[in-house]
Amino acid sequence: MNKNDKTHFRYITAQRIALASALFAVILSILLIANYIQTTSVDPLNSKALNQLMLELREDGDNDALKEQIRALDLLARKAYFTNQWQIRTGGFMLFAFVLAFLASLKYLSSLKRRFPDFEEEHESGALWEHNLLAKKYLIYGGLGLFALAFILGILSDSDLSGTGSGNDAETASFPSIDEIRANWPNFRGPGGNGHAYSANSPTQWDGPSGENIVWKTELPVDGYNSPVIWGNKIFLSGADDENQTVYCIDADTGAILWETMLDHVPGSPEDKPDVTEDTGYAAPTMATDGKNVFVLFGTGDTGCFDFDGTLIWSKNLGVPDNHYGHSSSLITYRGLLLIQYDQNSGGHLIALRTDSGKLAYDQPRDIEMSWASPILVNTGSRDELILNSNPYVMSHDPATGRELWRVDCMMGEVAPSLAFADGMIFAVNEYAVLAGITLESTPETAWETEDDLSEVSSPVANSEFVIVATSYGTVSCFDAKTGERYWYQDFSKGFYSSPVLVGETVYLMDMTGAMYIFNAAKEFNLINKCELGERAVAVPAFMDDRIYIRGFENLYCIGE
Amino acid sequence: MKKLLSAIAFVILNPTLALAQAVSRFPKPDFQSEYFRPSMQTPAAKSQLMEFLDVFVLIGALSLASYFALKLRSRRKMFLLMIFSLIYFGFFRKGCICPVGSVQNISLGIFNSGYAIPLTAIAFFALPLIFTLFFGRTFCAAVCPLGAIQDTVVLRPVNVAPWLAQVLGIFPYVYLGLAVLFASTGAGFIICQYDPFVGFFRFGASFNMIVLGISMLMLGTVVARPYCRFLCPYGVLLNWMSRLSKWHARISPDECINCRLCEESCPFGAIDMPTGDAQSNRDRNIKQLAVLFLLVPVIVLGSGWVVSRLHAPLSAQHSTVALADTIMLENSGARAFTTEESDIFRASGKPSEELFAEADILRDKFKTGAWVLGLFLGCIVCVKLIGLTMLKRHTEYTTNTGHCLSCARCFSYCPIEQVRLGNMAPEEAMKLKQSIE
């Protein structure tokens, strides 16, 4: 066989190898794709037969034959799965080998071909120059195009960041940590609005009339039913009458009024103030602070943001609340957002304003009737939730977006008490409705309900074992947090509007005369002490740094040793 | 037949996606018996022997490649060496460490005193450059696994128009500049991240990278070595070294007889053809050259300024800066949701101010780096424009020392080479040239 014959023979052989390997590769590809589709469409652990057997086992847990059947089926499913995996792996390697053979034969075939120029055409020496000119032209055009693109991108990317502030700004936004929040008293009922205080040694003995353990007492310039909020050594309160809306700041160490500022000339503020009842007033909502600024809401719908020196940062009117008693839901902040439960006769809203500017972040409509309760902000184990009590639902929202997370239908009437949270359970109460324990495992649902001793104003407080409820007619009850079983109840002569606060295992509960009852959260009622304030009070006390701050009707008291 | 085979090739290459996407979905069984699950153990550190062996193999392969290209002038031997390199450096060593990516190691080592460059990385970076400085780009021809895998699929190469090749030739410089910038600032090794072929070497990659790799190989069947010619950042350095090479592969072992037989032999367009004596519009070219020289500072500084404007999006590729931007957006309320990264950061307890300060330092680095990148690219554009304006004279067919990969494809086309091999008598070679003329 001469050289040409050998080359021809090799050419034919390579061609045939290419064809054969291509054919095998295509067949294998189809089989692998079919296998892959089958594998992805079938979940071996979720087969109907297996699930059915598992359900049967739940009802008949001692059935050994059933267990063996499940094990056998499970083993079969796993074997099938791993066999499948082996098939895919082996098939893949075989496919690779066939593809390799195909490519190698194609490569050999192409190497036998020579590329020669068209000798009929003369090689033009000027052609190179033409190409160079073209190259220059497109290089310049391309360069200018990239130049323009880069320029535009550069400007756009700068403007994207300018609205939020670059890293070179003197003050950059940051949120207070959970420890910072717990070290202060930033909103109604303390950190998260849950009625828990994190002070180590709160006083248990004082007497307002005699001044025992009263560190200072400051006359309040303007009346209001809101409770004090504290950050650092600054206490913030608001007050309002028919003429003015006032925010003031008091030094927590000395009781001196540091500043007093009016919130007026708010764009959109109503000329005629809405009608409100005397026991609500225009300054019922408690303020809130995020450690940098303090926020206030009045019964006119006017809301404002002040810095800690009393300078107004922004103000806006949310619209006059359609509320026959007057708006009382308090404020709370979350990661740069001011959250407002704005439930009215005409429908409910969860409103979030950006704390730095007052701009609306979201306005989430709520499918509820009126409510005077305040939200609680808790981490329920896997996420932060803003949970609100209203008629007829206890409803949870994502505080960052306002999106509704879940709802439980368990309330009725004019809901004023806020919620309590402890150990994966929510506790909701309202007079003429129920006290409900809602479990948050998997799907939130009512775990128990009771109709004993229901509160109309005071919010409950709870820990993992007990739920404490105080009523406006003077009853205080203790329930089992898991079952709702009532351990004890006590009748007191005066009713309670203020909500109990839990300090460790100790409950602080103030009646309408300002008398503070201090007792243990336990299966039996054990009164530690009763301390008189000396004036009427309905606000929730603030606990911070081993001191208690109580707003009476006329004075703000600082209690400590 | 050829079309059928091409179509089949298309169908065959796609199902490799199935392999790449195989995901384990079977959790461990929930044992009810007293089975004791063994605790996880950390394996002992890998021996460095293989890495040093790689260096020796690299030196050996480079030496052989240079010998085969310059001394033996054998395409067959170059091809076989290339297959060996593909198997060893590609599939066996899984494409890492490779000289192409080592540019980033060097950059990081220069700008980050806390990074200790492995000696093997230095060796992989320097050795191909040293060999290229002496012998031309024999590394590309027969040692680089990325080039090798592309070379194996060159089946029906078409000529890329020279002007297009010139324009596309800018992209390796851009890629090199970006790779150095990102590596030196710690933003990442983009050459490795976007290596289209390493997924084949490791039998697994993300869906996008598999698609990119397959696309690149399919393109490579008609456009020879597209990654090498129009993307490879290391190729920029090799190009420079090769232009200075002491010995370089030549088409003809002796004097070129201008027979034109090798004109179409190079699939990479790396043969410089005779330009003749006359240069058209000489005066215009001189004027253009003068204008270009005047514009050099404008182009260079302008390019520096424009690229520096991109420092914000460039710096956002760094994970620390991206996290700082995310935290800032969430803090200001511009974003109403949090991300997993920001949740993890907040859970860590690290103050945001610290993160913002780190991000600021990085942004400053990117500002400086972007300026340097822009100046570099401006210089490259100017050099290219000047080079295109100044026509280099060639009187014979020669290899372009910068672009030629020394693959030895063109040798067998040359009648003088056939004379050297004893396949043709010298008179026959001259007759062949005359018959063509």
Would the CB atoms of A150 and B8 count as touching at under 8 Å?
no
pLDDT digits (tens, 9 = 90+) for A332-384: 999 889 999 999 887 889 999 999 888 888 888 888 888 999 999 998 877 88
Q: Do B336 and A29 touch (CB under 8 A)?
A: no
pLDDT given at position B270: 93
Burial (CB count within 10 angstroms: exposed 0-12, middle 13-18, buried 19+), residue A123: middle
Distance in angstroms (rounded) separating the CA atoms of residues A404 and A387: 10
Architecture of domain A178-559: 7 Propeller (2.130)
SS3 A468: strand
Higher pLDDT: B144 or A37? It is B144
Q: Is the dihedral of CA B269, B273, B279, B282 positive or negative?
A: positive
Per-residue confidence band for A146, with pLDDT thresholds at 50, 70 and 90: confident
Name the amino acid, one letter, at A511. Answer: D
Q: Contact A107/B363, CB-based, under 8 Å? A: no
| Chain A positions in Cβ-Cβ contact with residue B356 (cut-off 8 Å) | 167, 172
Domain boundaries, chain B: 53-248, 282-389
Show me where the domains of chain A are located.
3-111, 178-559
Tell me whether B87 touches chain A (CB under 8 Å): no
**Residues of chain B found within 8 Å of residue A397, distances taken between Cβ atoms:** none
pLDDT at B281: 67
pLDDT at A167: 41
| For range A513-526, the mean pLDDT | 94
For residue A163, what pLDDT is reported?
37
| Tokens standing for residue A73 | 């089926």
How many helical (H) and strand (E) elements, i.e. helices and strands, does chain B have?
22, 2
Tens-place pLDDT, residues B80-115 = 999 999 999 999 999 888 899 999 999 999 998 888
Nearest CA in chain A to B315: A157
Contact with chain A for residue B390, Cβ under 8 A: no
Contacts (Cβ under 8 Å, ≥6 apart) of A318: A297, A301, A302, A303, A340, A342, A351
Predicted confidence at residue A168, as pLDDT, reads: 38
Chain B residues with beta carbon closer than 8 angstroms to that of A381: none
Q: Please report the pLDDT score of residue A277 as a whole number.
A: 86
CB contact under 8 A, A173 and B27: no
Distance (Å, whole) CA B234 – CA B216: 18
pTM of the full structure: 0.59
State whether A361 and B336 contact (CB < 8 Å). yes
CB neighbour list of residue B149: distance below 8 Å, 6 or more residues apart: B86, B90, B197, B200, B217
Residue listed under structure tokens 């439930």: A343
Q: Which residues of A touch B336 (CB under 8 A)?
A: 352, 361-362, 400-401
Contacts of B19 in chain A (CB under 8 A): 32, 88-89, 92
* Amino acid B20: pLDDT: 42
Q: A355, A377 in Cβ contact below 8 A? A: no
Distance in Å, alpha carbon of A274 to nearest chain B alpha carbon: 32
User: By C-alpha distance, which of B239, B21, B282 is closest to B139?
Assistant: B239
**Percentage of chain A with pLDDT > 70?**
94
Tell me the per-residue pLDDT of B5-50, one tens digit each, with 9 for 90 and over.
Answer: 555 554 454 444 444 444 444 556 666 666 777 777 777 776 778 8
Per-residue HEC secondary structure of A480-533 comes to ECCCCCEEEEEECCCCCCCCCEEECCEEEEECCCCCEEEEECCCCCCEEEEEEC
In which band, very low, low, confident or very high, does the pLDDT at B129 lie, cut at 50, 70 and 90?
Answer: very high
Which of residues 47 through 66 in chain B touch A, CB cutoff 8 A?
A: none
CB B374 within 8 A of CB A143: no
Q: Which has the closest alpha carbon to A496: A437, A543, A536, A554?
A: A536
Residues of A in contact with B163 (CB under 8 A): 131-135, 138
Question: Is B152–A103 a contact, with Cβ atoms under 8 angstroms apart?
Answer: yes
pLDDT of residue A523: 93
Calculate mean pLDDT across residues A438-454.
89
Mean pLDDT is lowest, of A363-372, A536-545, B104-113, B426-435, for B426-435
Closest Cα in chain B, distance from residue A347 (Å): 24
CB contact under 8 A, A135 and B313: no
Question: Given an 8 Å threshold on Cβ–Cβ distance, is B332 in contact with A165?
Answer: yes
Share of chain A above pLDDT 90, in %: 54
Within the 210-269 window of chain B, which residues sit less than 8 Å (CB to CB) from chain A?
Answer: 260-261, 263-265
CA distance A483 to A207: 38
Subunit contact B153:A88, Cβ cutoff 8 A: no
Secondary structure of B152-198 in the HEC alphabet?
CCCCCCCCCCHHHHHHHCCHHHHHHHHHHHHHHCCCCCHHHHCCCCH
Residue B392 C-beta-side C-alpha neighbours within 13 Å: 11
Nearest to A173 among B302, B332, B351 (CB): B332
Decide the pairing of beta strands A501-503 and A196-197.
parallel
Each residue of A84-120: b (16+ CB within 10 Å) or e?
Answer: beeebeebbeebbebbebbbbbbbbbbeeeebeeeee
> What pLDDT, in 10s, does the model give residues B166-188?
999 999 999 999 999 999 999 99
* Residues from chain B contacting residue A36 (CB–CB below 8 Å): 18, 21-22
B25 to A98: CB separation less than 8 angstroms, yes or no: no
Question: Average model confidence (pLDDT) for chain A?
Answer: 88
